[in-house]
Structure 1
Amino acid sequence: MAETINSLEDLGAANVVAVAADAPVHVQKLDAQGRAYATGKRKNAIARVWIKPGAGKITVNGKEFNAFFARPVLQMVLQQPIVAAARVDQYDVIATVSGGGLSGQAGAVRHGISKALTYFEPELRGVLKAGGFLTRDSRVVERKKYGKAKARRSFQFSKR
């Protein structure tokens, strides 16, 4: 069932059809309770995040996210993917986070929310990818080296 291609226009049309047929089909990934689950990471923090349709309540380690992340900057970081996807007050988020400090934990929850949103609504992937929310921030604290005060800082030099 091979088609005969007589001109460049036919070749272009054949390629477009082939690309459309090979395009990946994104499917929802939900658990038995109808929730989307994702793991987010940042520095040494790991967040397990579940999202489900709801009134927009965000819970982190059993507390409201405003109580867990007291700093407004961290609260803003947490809400970035939901605001970028224009899904404010549409999903309830339940997160458990461990390891690292508050900044790393906020970044981990943000990463987890972004991934879970793409599992719940695969068409949001483009918006979240463009915002940089799906990329795991791989920067971690550099280890201390021997003969140094910190990772790179030398001890104070004394001429006398």
Structure 2
Amino acid sequence: MEDTVKQDLNALIKKYDTFIANTLKPSLKKELDERDLIFNHISEYQKLKVQIDTIKDNDLQELKTMVDLGSQFFVQAHIPDTKYIYVNVGFGFHVQFTLKEALAFISKKEAQLQKLADKHTEEADKIRAHIKMALEAMSEILMNSS
């Protein structure tokens, strides 16, 4: 009889362990990865905002800069007119904005992205709580079986 109870408890612990390893941890990683990707987008918009502020503060009419063509391959670029800027608004679309319009768009986009990042953070916190509960349940089972 005692062997059957131990086998049942071991099966239950294994079930919890498998659930944590195969379901909860991958879900947590997915949420954190998605949140990190959003933070990277926010960072890019913040860099653009700093560049626009620099152009405005120094009243730059033209600009020389380095442009990343991809895969960390940079080329020098000359911008003859800084009145307008093209901003990636998503889905492969770039919109021509004045500097003032671009700053307004960036502020709204950052707020939207921050809300999305907050949702992923909340979801990650829920998953962490589920992991903690499962680990506590396993600990309880182990203590009661001793």
Indicate the TM-score class for this superposition, using the shorter chain for normalisation: under 0.3
**Structure with greater proportional helix content:** 2
Q: Could you tell me the TM-score, scaled by structure 2's length?
A: 0.27
TM-score where L is the length of structure 1: 0.25
RCO (CA 8 Å, sep 6+): is it higher in 1 or 2?
Answer: 2
